[in-house]
């Protein structure tokens, strides 16, 4: 008996939940439809609204540059449906107003030009198609001042502090690629610029070749000056060096005919540093040490001159620097 009553209670409870869920779903559908139709009705109506748009300036003369500030954005009051206004408010960052500077008017009694924006509302409105009407634009007038554009080439100057590991040195000169850049802008500003300097670079204990892009900086007032390349490549050709020591014979130049000259010692020691991977390629034949008899003074010694040496060595030292000599006729 108890079991039958329990089953009957469960059936009545389950049926109540089903009826409750159906009522809730019906209610939510009705609310959603009401909101949908309200949304359609409301946004189908026309409204006035102000939207901010970025500006693109067209047809700036190639031989001139604008020297005053032109607004990057303008406020446009439009009349359109709610859907259209919502569309432009959501994508106004990508939609821009195009202003053609060919339509500038010159002032009669003053230098410069002006563009009466609100006199061209219909033309500007055509950029949006026929779905909206442009009512007003702020600012209503744009003012433009030109200067002659000057183009010239300037060298790039390195601003750096570079130190090297004890066993490493420059194999070749430091290079900037490109070594020169082209700048253009208002004539009076470009004329003041003598070079383009790199940003400050600090490199410590360098022990390998460096290739690095660095920014360029122009001196003086360069707010309207353009540079052909914003960066240059810094190349620091660093290699490992080792010390070498060779003995080379001393030769005599410009000795008069009929004379003989003997020097003491007849060989000198040359010490130098050379790239590690080129050490074995260098021998005494790559050098020539001489004394020049035509430079003889009252001294009993002649100075050693190294007139031939490899191009890839550095820090050359000669010992001794002078030698004694004996002349015979």
pLDDT of 182 above 90: yes
pTM above 0.85, yes or no: no
Rounded distance between C-alpha atoms, residue 206 and residue 274, angstroms: 17
Are 178 and 197 a contacting pair, CB within 8 Å? no
pLDDT band at 108 (very low <50, low <70, confident <90, very high): confident
pLDDT of 194 above 50: yes
pLDDT band at 6 (very low <50, low <70, confident <90, very high): very low
Q: Residue 89's pLDDT is what?
A: 75
Question: What tens digit of pLDDT does each residue of 286-305 get?
Answer: 999 999 999 988 888 999 99
pLDDT of 212 above 60: yes
Q: Residue 44's pLDDT is what?
A: 60
Rounded distance between C-alpha atoms, residue 121 and residue 52, angstroms: 15
Q: Residue 319's pLDDT is what?
A: 96
Q: Of the candidates 159, 127, 146, 158, which has an alpha carbon nearest to the alpha carbon of residue 187?
A: 146
Q: Residue 16's pLDDT is what?
A: 55
pLDDT band at 9 (very low <50, low <70, confident <90, very high): very low
DSSP 278-306: GGGG--GGG-EEEEEGGG--SSSEEE-EE
Q: Of the candidates 58, 154, 40, 42, which has an alpha carbon nearest to the alpha carbon of residue 97?
A: 58
Question: What tens digit of pLDDT does each residue of 226-260 get?
Answer: 999 999 999 999 999 999 999 999 999 999 988 88
Q: Residue 245's pLDDT is what?
A: 95
Question: What tens digit of pLDDT does each residue of 70-103 get?
Answer: 999 989 888 888 777 777 777 655 678 899 988 8
Question: What tens digit of pLDDT does each residue of 39-73 get?
Answer: 566 656 777 888 888 999 999 898 999 988 899 99
pLDDT-above-90 percentage for the chain: 46
**Domains along the sequence of the chain with CATH:** 46-144 (2.170.120.30), 147-236 (2.170.120.40), 241-328 (2.170.120.30)
Rounded distance between C-alpha atoms, residue 219 and residue 251, angstroms: 54
Task: Say whether 161 sits in a helix, a strand or coil.
Answer: strand
Q: Residue 2's pLDDT is what?
A: 46
User: Tokens in use for 130?
Assistant: 């026929």
CA–chain centroid gap for 217, Å, is 10
CA–chain centroid gap for 101, Å, is 30
pLDDT of 112 above 60: yes
């Amino acid at each position: 008996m108890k079991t039958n009553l329990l089953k009957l209670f469960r059936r009545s409870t389950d049926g109540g939940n089903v009826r409750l869920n159906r009522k809730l779903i019906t209610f939510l559908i009705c609310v959603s439809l009401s909101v949908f139709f309200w949304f359609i009705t409301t946004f189908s109506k026309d409204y006035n609204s102000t939207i901010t748009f970025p500006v693109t300036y067209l047809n700036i003369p190639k031989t001139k540059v604008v020297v005053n500030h032109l607004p990057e954005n303008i406020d446009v009051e439009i009349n359109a449906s709610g859907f259209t206004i919502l569309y432009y408010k959501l994508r106004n960052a990508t939609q821009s107003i195009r202003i053609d500077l060919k339509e500038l008017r010159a002032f009669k009694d003053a230098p410069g030009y002006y563009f009466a924006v609100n006199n061209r509302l219909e033309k500007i409105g055509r950029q949006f198609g026929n779905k909206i009407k442009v009512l007003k634009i702020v600012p209503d007038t744009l003012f433009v001042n030109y200067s002659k554009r000057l183009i010239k080439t300037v060298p790039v100057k390195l601003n750096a502090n570079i130190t090297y590991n004890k066993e490493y040195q420059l194999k070749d000169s430091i290079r900037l690629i490109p070594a020169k850049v082209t700048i253009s802008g208002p004539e009076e500003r470009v004329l003041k610029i003598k070079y383009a300097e790199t940003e400050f670079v600090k490199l410590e204990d360098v022990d390998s070749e460096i290739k690095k892009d660095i920014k360029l900086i122009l001196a003086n007032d360069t707010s309207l000056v353009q540079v052909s390349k914003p960066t240059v490549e810094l190349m620091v050709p660093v290699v490992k060096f080792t010390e070498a020591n060779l003995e080379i014979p001393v030769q005599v130049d410009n000795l008069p005919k009929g004379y003989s000259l003997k020097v003491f010692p007849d060989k000198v020691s040359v010490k130098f540093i050379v790239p590690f991977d080129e050490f074995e390629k260098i021998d005494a034949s790559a050098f020539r040490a001489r004394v020049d008899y035509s430079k003889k003074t009252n001294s009993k010694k002649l100075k050693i001159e190294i007139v031939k040496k490899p191009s890839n060595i550095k820090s050359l030292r000669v010992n001794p620097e002078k030698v004694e000599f004996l002349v015979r006729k």
